[in-house]
Amino acid sequence: MSGAERHAAALQCDVGGGHAFTLRVPEGDTHARHVCDDCGYIHYVNPKIVVGSVVTWHGADDGEPRILMCRRAIEPRHGFWTLPAGYMELGETTEAAAMREAREEACADIRIDALLAVYSIPRIGQVQLMYKATLLSPDVMAGEESLEVALVRNNEIPWGDLAFPSVRWALTQHREVAQAGAFVPFTNPAGDMGNMVHGAD
């Protein structure tokens, strides 16, 4: 079995030696944890933070703002359109993470303007922080995780080919505040937990 295959199997205790985890409520705890059957080690699995941005280019010749979008080169949702976003790393701030992702996915140099939204996607254990940002140069280019990148007009947004519900939320909510000065950040549209049944709709 390859290393990857073994990791695809049940979680192994960090101690090594083939200990295995089961999900149960440890004494004194109120929440089910991955507890090692052999040595009692508790493996905490926490939600992950995704940071991204709705980036606008204001310098087009026709004066119409453009939004930076990326077509995914990797799974999940290969070939579908998304906003520059990705997992936050240790040692950075949320704003630095958004800037790094824009740089990595689209070679884009951006300025963070405001927090646009905080989304919770409980089923996959994610919290997404989306920022409203300004593109500082139109010289964008696909990074490794993008098949292509584009600066799209509002009426060119590929609504039918978005990668995830949260991309749709961010683009829709951004429209409401695109011209605004200060605004209160958004969260999930009421009752929507971001689960995908068919596509991102």
Per CB under 8 A, residues contacting its own copies are 3-4, 6-7, 11-19, 28, 30-31, 36, 39-41, 44-49, 87-95, 104, 114-115, 118, 120, 122-123, 125, 127, 129, 144, 182-185, 187-188, 193
- Mapping DSSP to helix (H, G, I), strand (E, B) and coil, where does residue 186 land? strand
Instruction: Please name the amino acid found at residue 172.
Output: T
Residue 39 binds Zn ion, judged by CB under 5 A: yes
Contact with Zn ion (CB under 5 A) among 35, 36, 50, 177: 36
Long-range contacts of 35-40 (CB under 8 A, 24+ apart): 38/13, 39/13, 39/15
Q: Of its own copies, Zn ion, none, which one sits near residue 91, judging by CB under 5 to 8 A according to partner kind?
A: its own copies
- Mapping DSSP to helix (H, G, I), strand (E, B) and coil, where does residue 120 land? strand
Q: Of Zn ion, its own copies, none, which one sits near residue 48, judging by CB under 5 to 8 A according to partner kind?
A: its own copies
Residue 13 binds Zn ion, judged by CB under 5 A: yes
Nearest-approach distance from CB 91 to its own copies, in angstroms: 5
Tell me whether residue 36 or residue 69 sits nearer to Zn ion (CB atom). 36
Nearest-approach distance from CB 173 to Zn ion, in angstroms: 43
- Mapping DSSP to helix (H, G, I), strand (E, B) and coil, where does residue 121 land? strand
Tell me whether residue 40 or residue 160 sits nearer to its own copies (CB atom). 40
Tell me whether residue 40 or residue 79 sits nearer to its own copies (CB atom). 40
- DSSP secondary structure string for all residues of 66-105: EEEEEEESSSSSTT-EE-SEEEPPTT--HHHHHHHHHHHH
Write the CB contacts of 124 (distance below 8 Å, at least 6 apart in sequence).
194
Task: Choose the stretch contacting Zn ion; rule: CB under 5 A; options: 29-37, 65-73, 159-167, 175-183.
Answer: 29-37
Looking up tokens 């359109």, which residue turns up? Answer: 81
Q: What's the CA angle centered on 107, arms 105 and 110, to 5 degrees?
A: 100
Chain residues that interact with Zn ion, rule: CB under 5 A: 13, 15, 19, 36, 38-39, 41
